[in-house]
C-alpha cells in the first residue's frame, strides 16, 4: 500500500497537511452538476482517501450545487481531528449548470453558511475566495470588497483561514494587506506554467500553492514526452504529472480528483515516484512546446 507520507508535508494555515490530498469536484454529476450516477461509489472514494492517509480535501458548495459537500458529510462526519476541509466561494450555478459570479456581500455570506450547513461544521477551516472577474483565468481587478466581507466572517469565527483562487500576483499582494492569505489555488500543470514565478514567490513566503487541474482538467494532459517517460518508469502519465508537481516546489499541495477508487489509488501512488534531473528536464519541454510535445 502506498505511503503518501513520502511526499512530505507543508503548512496550510496553522495546520500541517500531507502534500497529496484529494479534490472532490468529480463527485458531483457530469459537468460538476447534479448528483453522481453512483452515490455509494462517491462515498467509497472519500472513505478510501482518508483511510489512505489523506488529510486535505478540497471542495465547494457550488459543486452540484450542494451535492459534493453533502456526500462528504455522509461519508466522513464526524470528521477525523487531522482532516482539513478547504472550500471556496463566489460562484453559483444556473438552472442548466452555468457558472455565475456571486460576489456580493450577501452572496458571499450566504455561501459560507451554505458550506457550514452542508458540511455539518461550526467553522470552516479554510475558505478560498475565487475571483470571478474572469471565469476562465485570472483577470486583474480589486478583490478588496469581497475579501473585506470574508475577513469579517473570519472575525465572527465562521472562517478560520482565508485563501485566494484564480488570481494574479497583484491581487495576492492586495489580499495580504487585508488579511493573512494561507494558500493560493490557480491552474497549473506540466503544460500550463504561467504561474512559475508566482509558485516560487509563494514558496519563499511560506504560502501553500494548490494547483487545480493538475492533470489537465476536463481534457487530460496529452503528450508524447509524458507518455514516453511514463513507459520508461513503469508508471501512468498521470502519476508522472503529479510526481513532477511534487518535485517542482515544496509548497505545492496536490488535490487530484477522481470518482474511482482505482484511480484514487493510482494518484496517491505518485508519492512513491522519484524523477531524475534528466527526466524533469525532458518533462519541462512540454510547456516550452505543448503542441509538439
pTM for this predicted structure: 0.96
* Cell numbers placing 50: 482518508
Q: Do 196 and 182 meet the contact criterion of CB atoms below 8 Å apart? A: no
Chain segment 188-231, per-residue pLDDT in tens: 999 999 999 999 999 999 999 999 988 886 677 888 999 999 99
Task: State yes or no: is 188 an active-site residue.
Answer: no
Give the model confidence (pLDDT) of 87-129 as tens digits: 999 999 999 999 999 999 999 999 999 999 999 999 999 999 9
Q: Which of 22, 63, 79, 188 is catalytic?
A: 63
How many CB atoms are closer than 10 A to CB 207? 22
| Grid coordinates of 137 | 483565468
Q: Which among 155, 158, 161, 78 is positioned nearest to 111, based on CA atoms?
A: 158
Q: Which residues of the chain have pLDDT under 70?
A: 1, 217-218, 290-293
pLDDT at position 1, please?
61
Contact (CB, 8 A) for 203 and 181: no
CA nearest to 254, candidates 215, 201, 280 = 215
Neighbour-count burial of 224, counting CB atoms closer than 10 A to its CB (0-12 exposed, 13-18 middle, 19+ buried):
exposed
Question: CA nearest 128: which of 150, 99, 109, 107?
Answer: 150
Longest CA pairwise span in the chain (Å): 53
Predicted pLDDT of residue 220: 75
- At residue 32, the pLDDT reads 96
What pLDDT shows up at residue 291? Answer: 56
Amino acid at each position: 500500500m502506498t505511503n503518501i507520507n513520502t511526499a512530505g508535508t507543508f503548512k496550510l494555515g496553522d495546520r500541517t497537511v500531507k502534500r497529496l490530498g484529494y479534490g472532490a469536484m468529480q463527485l458531483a454529476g457530469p459537468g460538476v452538476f447534479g448528483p453522481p450516477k453512483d452515490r455509494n461509489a462517491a462515498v467509497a472514494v472519500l472513505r478510501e482517501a482518508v483511510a489512505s492517509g489523506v488529510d486535505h480535501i478540497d471542495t465547494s458548495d457550488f459543486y452540484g450545487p450542494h451535492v459534493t459537500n453533502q456526500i462528504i458529510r455522509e461519508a466522513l462526519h464526524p470528521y477525523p481531528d487531522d482532516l482539513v476541509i478547504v472550500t471556496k466561494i463566489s460562484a453559483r450555478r444556473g438552472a442548466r449548470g452555468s457558472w455565475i459570479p456571486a460576489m456580493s456581500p450577501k452572496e458571499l455570506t450566504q455561501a459560507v453558511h451554505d458550506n457550514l450547513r452542508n458540511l455539518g461544521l461550526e467553522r470552516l477551516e479554510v475558505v478560498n475566495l475565487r475571483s470571478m472577474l474572469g471565469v476562465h483565468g485570472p483577470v486583474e481587478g480589486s478583490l478588496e470588497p469581497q475579501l473585506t466581507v470574508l475577513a469579517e466572517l473570519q472575525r465572527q469565527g465562521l472562517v478560520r483561514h482565508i485563501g485566494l483562487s484564480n488570481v494574479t500576483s497583484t491581487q495576492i499582494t492586495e489580499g495580504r494587506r487585508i488579511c493573512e492569505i494561507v494558500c493560493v489555488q490557480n491552474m497549473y500543470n506540466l503544460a500550463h506554467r504561467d504561474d512559475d514565478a508566482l509558485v516560487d514567490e509563494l514558496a519563499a513566503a511560506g504560502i501553500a500553492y494548490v494547483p487545480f487541474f493538475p492533470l489537465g482538467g476536463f481534457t487530460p494532459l496529452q503528450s508524447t514526452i509524458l507518455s514516453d517517460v511514463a513507459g520508461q518508469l513503469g508508471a501512468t502519465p498521470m502519476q508522472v504529472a503529479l510526481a513532477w508537481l511534487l518535485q517542482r516546489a515544496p509548497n505545492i499541495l496536490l488535490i487530484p480528483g477522481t470518482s474511482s477508487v482505482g484511480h484514487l489509488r493510482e494518484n496517491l501512488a505518485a508519492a512513491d515516484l522519484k524523477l531524475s534531473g534528466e527526466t524533469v528536464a525532458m518533462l519541462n519541454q512540454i510547456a516550452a512546446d505543448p503542441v509538439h510535445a
